[in-house]
Amino acid sequence: MAHTSNYILGVYDDEDVLLKAIKNVRDGGVKIHEVYSPFPVHGIEDALGYRRSRLSIVAFMFGLLGTSLALTMQLGMMTVDWPMIIGGKDYAPIPSFIPVTFELTVLLASFGMVGTFMIISNLKPWGKPKLFDKRITDDKHIVAIDLGTNQLEESAIDKMLKDSGASEVNKKTL
């Protein structure tokens, strides 16, 4: 049996009102589950208290893996498996390895970032997204508050959202 949660949704028409509302709701001690918007809102990450993403560290690690795999592969092929001694050249001509090493570094870094992002964001092909309101893809901003993770009563959260400028407040069970 799937776990269901009760949410209170504050619907906002304007992004400036939304940013002020997020600050007021968080200052009131309410934990916001997520904010949905039809377009990027500048400053919403700071208002929600999100930390900087560590995806760049993941990209570096996958890039380092790509570099080491490319160099290991080429050195293994050119020096161990099939050494070519032509015209007195080195066993390991490192400068000629640079293009392949660069391409494999970029390939693994980009695929690693995309894969990690999809896993972290729960964007599985077989997953079912939570859609609180269809208007979030059109012109409304939604603040979703999970009642199970907050200590305040539903009526207090409802009043707080209305006082902060919400055009409507709804309850939804997912």
Using the 8-state DSSP alphabet, how is residue 31 labeled? P
Contacts for 125 with CB less than 8 Å, ≥ 6 apart: none
Task: Report the candidate in 60, 73, 52 with the shortest Cα–Cα distance to residue 112.
Answer: 60
Q: What is the mean pLDDT of residues 14-20?
A: 94
pLDDT in tens, 90-101: 777 888 899 999
Would you say residue 164 has pLDDT above 80?
Answer: yes
Would you say residue 85 has pLDDT above 90?
Answer: no
Phi, psi of 143 (to 5 degrees): -105, 115
Mean pLDDT over each residue of the chain, to the nearest integer: 90
Would you say residue 166 has pLDDT above 70?
Answer: yes
Banded pLDDT at 89 (limits 50, 70, 90): confident
pLDDT in tens, 35-83: 999 999 999 999 999 998 999 999 999 999 999 999 999 999 988 888 8
Contact of 97 with 70, CB cutoff 8 Å: yes
Which SS3 state, helix, strand or coil, does residue 36 take?
strand
Domain ranges of the chain: 6-51+128-173, 55-120
Query: What is the per-residue pLDDT for 3?
Result: 67
CATH 2.60.120 holds for 6-51+128-173: no
Please, is 113 exposed, middle or buried when counting C-beta atoms within 10 Å of its C-beta (0-12, 13-18, 19+)?
Answer: middle
Query: What is the per-residue pLDDT for 31?
Result: 93
Among the ranges given (50-54, 83-87, 106-110, 112-116), the one the predictor scored with the smallest mean pLDDT: 83-87
pTM to 2 decimals?
Answer: 0.72
What are 156-164's contacts with CB under 8 Å, separation 24+? 157/8, 157/30, 158/8, 160/24, 160/25, 160/28, 160/30, 161/8, 161/10, 161/21, 161/25, 163/24, 164/10, 164/17, 164/20, 164/21, 164/24, 164/25
